[in-house]
Amino acid sequence: MANWEGVSEFVAVAETASFTLAANKLSTSVAQVSRRVSALEERLAVKLLHRTTRKVTLSEAGQVYFQQCKHLVEGLEVAELAVTQMQTTPKGLVKVTAPVTYGEQHLASLLNQFLARYPQVNIDLNLTNQQLDLLEAGIDIAIRLGRLTDSTMIAKRLASRQLYVCASKKYLERHGEPHSLSELAHHQCLVGSIEHWRFQEKGREKSIRVAGRLKCNSGNALLDAAKQGLGLVQLPDYYIKDALQSGELIEVLHQYRDDKEGIWALYPKNRNLSPKVRLLIDFLAEHIGKPATQK
C-alpha cells in the first residue's frame, strides 16, 4: 500500500519553492514540513530537493516525482473538498485583506454580517494599502480595486466602480471649468497614489499625468481638499456620490469618463476553495455595492 506521508508537504514545497510558503499553505510549521519531506526522501532513498540558504530547487528525481504526485494530491484535495461540502455549517478561519479606507467603509460591516450569520466561522481581516503576497501571508481572499496586475491569482468580480472628476463650485468660479483633457495642465489637480488620471477619448483609453499642490494616498483627504476648493479630483463613486448629490461637488469632463472598473476578490490559483471561503466570496458578490436597505 502506498504511503502518503510527506507527499503533500513535498508537493507544496515544489509548487512554492519555499518551505516557509509551503508551511503557510498547509497551515503547519516549517519544521513539520521539513521533517516530513526529509522522511519521504529517506524512505525513497533519493534526494528530491536541493536546499540552500536562499532557495529550494527540485533534483532530477524530484522533478519526476513531482509530476507524478501533484495530480494525486490535487485529486485528494478534490475528494476531501467534496466531503467537506456535505457539511451544512461552514466553520473555521478565513483570512482576508483589503485596502484600508474601502475596508473600513464598505467591507467591515459586511464581514460582521457574515459572522453573525455563520457563528462557527472566524475572520482575520488585515486592512492595508500594501498588496500582500497571498501565499506568503496565508491569505484566503484579497479584495482589490480597479485594474489588476497580478495574473498569478484567480479573480472574481464582485462589483464595479466609476471614476469621476469633480470640483467645488468655489474652485470652478475662481479657475473656470475644463472642457478638454488638455486643459488639465492649467488646473490644480489633487493627486492620489497614482499620478495619472484615466479617461476615454474617441473610444480609446487615455492616461493623463496630473500635478498640483497636494499629493496624498488617502481618498478621504483628497475629497476634503476638493470640498474646500483646492482643486480638481478624480475619485471612485463611493467617495463622492453624496457630495455630488448634494451639489457640494460638481462633475466636470463627464464626456471623457473612463469605463467602469472592477472590485475584485482574488485568491490563489491551484487552491480548491473550502466551503467557508467560497460562501464568503458569494456573500460579498451579492451584497457589495448595494444600499444598506438591500443587504
Name, of 66-80, 109-123, 137-151, the range with top average pLDDT: 109-123
7-84 has CATH 1.10.3720.10 classification? no
Pairwise CA distance, residues 102 & 104, whole Å = 5
**Do residues 12 and 28 make contact, with C-beta atoms less than 8 angstroms apart?**
no
- What average pLDDT does the chain have? 87
Query: For the chain, which residues make up each domain, given as ranges?
Result: 7-84, 92-160+262-287, 163-256
Question: Per-residue pLDDT tens for 120-129?
Answer: 899 999 999 8
Question: Per-residue pLDDT tens for 159-173?
Answer: 889 999 999 999 999
Q: What global pTM score does this model have? A: 0.62
pLDDT above 90: percentage of residues in the chain: 49
pLDDT given at position 291: 53
Question: Per-residue pLDDT tens for 164-217?
Answer: 999 999 999 999 999 999 999 999 999 998 889 999 998 888 999 999 999 998
| Confidence check: pLDDT of 70 > 50 | yes
Pairwise CA distance, residues 132 & 100, whole Å = 13
Return the minimum-mean-pLDDT range out of 50-64, 215-229, 238-252: 50-64
Average pLDDT over residues 109-133: 91
pLDDT given at position 294: 37
Residue carrying C-alpha cell 498547509:
26
Same fold, 7-84 and 92-160+262-287: no
Average pLDDT over residues 102-131: 91
pLDDT given at position 2: 57
Pick the CATH number of 163-256 from 2.60.40.10, 3.40.190.10, 3.20.20.80, 3.40.50.620: 3.40.190.10
Architecture of domain 92-160+262-287: 3-Layer(aba) Sandwich (3.40)
* Cell reading at 148: 489588476
